Structure 1
């Protein structure tokens, strides 16, 4: 672990030891979908139905943001597979740090590499899309992501700070690239055209995709593992 990670996680484990009353609420916070992706996805729907002269452009940006999030999540699965395995801090006895994690078997998969953070990659991607459309709300979305999604994962020892920063940087870069006019219009315009032509199946699919984003495809992954056994 580098000096940057060491300093932050030593400080946070000190806070956890000095203020144990915080530990259970933070564990609960880290596990609830309401405080993870649900709030951000709800803002995307707000933007989608918000009237205004830029409504068509805003819907294109929402489509691009959702696809950016999917791309970021898929990229995480690939990158984590090929990069050297990095043990999660909470499982590393060489750190000599006591993290306030509980029920880790359900919360964190010890066989998954810590680097980069999939949560940071995914939700910074979404928050960046919100920021590019609606600056004031986007700042709140980025703060929400930092405080309610990323920080608890470092506090509980599920990720190193550099895992979070790397994931966040990739997520933001993915959304920024996908929302450029030259890129966005190639896929967002046809998708919006299809939604207007077939709103029933279109919005059904959009809802399902948003639901899976909020849960990060957790149930589908569980089902896939069961089928592969």
Structure 2
């Protein structure tokens, strides 16, 4: 345990709030409404904007969505490849009591804390929004920090370095995926296909956005259940 994580987690665990505020923070950290259901609709807003940069903006939306998928995939790989890190809420070494102790999720006990897939995914999406709309993008990044990252540290789901590394990787993925030399290789052909087949593309976009909002949770649970019964 490094001193940076320890000092911040100790400070957060000593913040005593009233039960209503704690339940509100728990809801913000748990419900999809306060995560993807805030940021993904902004991408749809960007998609339907009509101006001279319409095609570029749509390519950026596609690149941002793909960046989110890549971020989730990379996050899953890192949790398996890197040494396992117990989440603060389950660490007996910390001797800390977190506000979220009463909502422990059994699934999290076997899921490494480092890096944060939430920070990775939603910072990737927020960065894509920022690269298109600076003003709205700043708000998206601030929202990701305040409503997605900080509550997870306060409730003991992640250490600060989990969130910082996840955010850094998410930002880096989006920055690379949206570069002109890379983006045009996949986003331009995809955009042509979408224009030729609006029906199937709209259906796939809807399914993809639903899965991103839920971070593929139901598919993961289904796959986990199938594997356990094999």
Same fold (TM over 0.5): yes
Deviation of 1:22 (Å): 2.2
Secondary structure of 1:50's counterpart equals coil
What CA distance in whole angstroms lies between the structure 2 residues aligned with 1:188 and 1:118? 24
Deviation of 1:18 (Å): 5.1
In structure 1, the partner of 2:212 is 213
In structure 1, the partner of 2:142 is 143
- Listed as ranges, the gaps of 5+ residues in structure 2 are none
Secondary structure of 2:97's counterpart equals coil
**Residues 79-104 of structure 1, C-alpha deviations (whole Å, 9 max, x = no match):** 11010000000000110110011221
What CA distance in whole angstroms lies between the structure 1 residues aligned with 2:111 and 2:77? 12
Secondary structure of 1:109's counterpart equals helix
In structure 2, the partner of 1:4 is 4
What CA distance in whole angstroms lies between the structure 2 residues aligned with 1:34 and 1:52? 30
**Residues 75-130 of structure 1, C-alpha deviations (whole Å, 9 max, x = no match):** 11111101000000000011011001122126x51100000000000000000000
What CA distance in whole angstroms lies between the structure 1 residues aligned with 2:108 and 2:173? 25
Aligned residues: 227
In structure 1, the partner of 2:110 is 111
Alignment of 1:1-229 (within 5 A): 1-15=1-15, 17=16, 19-101=18-100, 102-105=102-105, 109-228=108-227, 229=229
What CA distance in whole angstroms lies between the structure 1 residues aligned with 2:129 and 2:49? 13
Q: Which deviates more, 169-178 or 21-30?
A: 21-30
What CA distance in whole angstroms lies between the structure 2 residues aligned with 1:171 and 1:66? 12
What CA distance in whole angstroms lies between the structure 2 residues aligned with 1:203 and 1:61? 17
Deviation of 1:20 (Å): 4.5
TM-aligned CA distance change 1:136 to 1:105, over 3 Å: same
**RMSD of aligned residue pairs (Cα, Å):** 1.1
Secondary structure of 2:62's counterpart equals helix
What CA distance in whole angstroms lies between the structure 2 residues aligned with 1:103 and 1:155? 13
Deviation of 1:226 (Å): 1.9
What CA distance in whole angstroms lies between the structure 1 residues aligned with 2:57 and 2:206? 18
- Listed as ranges, the gaps of 5+ residues in structure 1 are none
TM-score by length of 1: 0.96
